[in-house]
Amino acid sequence: MLTVQDVDLTPNPQALKFILNEKLLNVEARHYHNKQEAENDPFAKGIFELTGVVSVFYMDKFVTIEKLKEANWGQIQRPFIEFLKSFDMNLIPAEADIAPIENSNELLKQINEILDQRVRPALANDGGGLQVIGVNGYTVKIHYQGACGSCPTAISGTLMAIEGLLKRDVHPAIEVISA
């Protein structure tokens, strides 16, 4: 049975990170911005049934829920805990066996190694993540996930920090933009 072991605040005031007792996914991260996107994922779809939920991000052993600004956590947390208790883990869709786009060339491979070592763990700690959408020359296009998706810090300061890290460790001409 899934249970919440801890709840962490995130830098995004509208998002909470719920740490669970069991792993949901081994490798992937999944992020849905609305109920329609989550249609084929019973886990995320069930969370969207809760009043006030606007996005769901999950990976490893945590779920980050972002709520409407006017919603309160009291109307979400207790129903979420009840949902977890009754959810059948076998309903979580299997992880894809597709090689990620991120490792399709050497530059992308270098970028992802740095992101995996230095950036993604910090973002996951804050209830979020990022996906590399693609690289065009030295322009890296990323998409923030989870709590980072609408967090003002991620959109400005974190983006500049990621760009600075990649300029220093991969190539000085790299530019990072958010999708």
Assigned token pair, 40: 């084929």
Over residues 109-160, the pLDDT tens digits come to 999 999 999 999 999 988 989 999 888 889 999 988 888 877 777 667 888 9
- For the cut 90, the answer to whether the pLDDT of residue 178 exceeds it is no
Characterise 28 by phi-psi region: left (phi > 0), alpha (psi -120 to 50), beta (else): beta
Over the stretch 51-74, which tens digit does the pLDDT of each residue have? 999 999 999 999 999 999 999 999
* pLDDT attached to residue 99: 40
Residue 46 has pLDDT above 90, yes or no: yes
Better pLDDT: 100 or 28: 28
Q: Tens digit of pLDDT for each residue in 163-174?
A: 999 999 999 999
Q: What is the pLDDT of residue 88?
A: 95
pLDDT > 90 fraction of the chain, expressed in percent and rounded: 66
Q: Which domains does the chain have, with CATH numbers?
A: 4-91 (3.30.1370.70), 101-178 (3.30.300.130)
The model's confidence at residue 101, banded by pLDDT at 50, 70 and 90, is: very low
The residues near 32 (Cβ < 8 Å, ≥ 6 apart) are: 38, 41, 44, 48, 55, 56, 57
Q: Which residues are CB-neighbours of 147 under 8 A, at least 6 positions away?
A: 10, 11, 12, 15, 17, 57, 64, 66, 126, 127, 128
- Quick one: average pLDDT of 89-116? 76
DSSP states of 142-161: EEEEEGGGG-HHIIIIIHHH
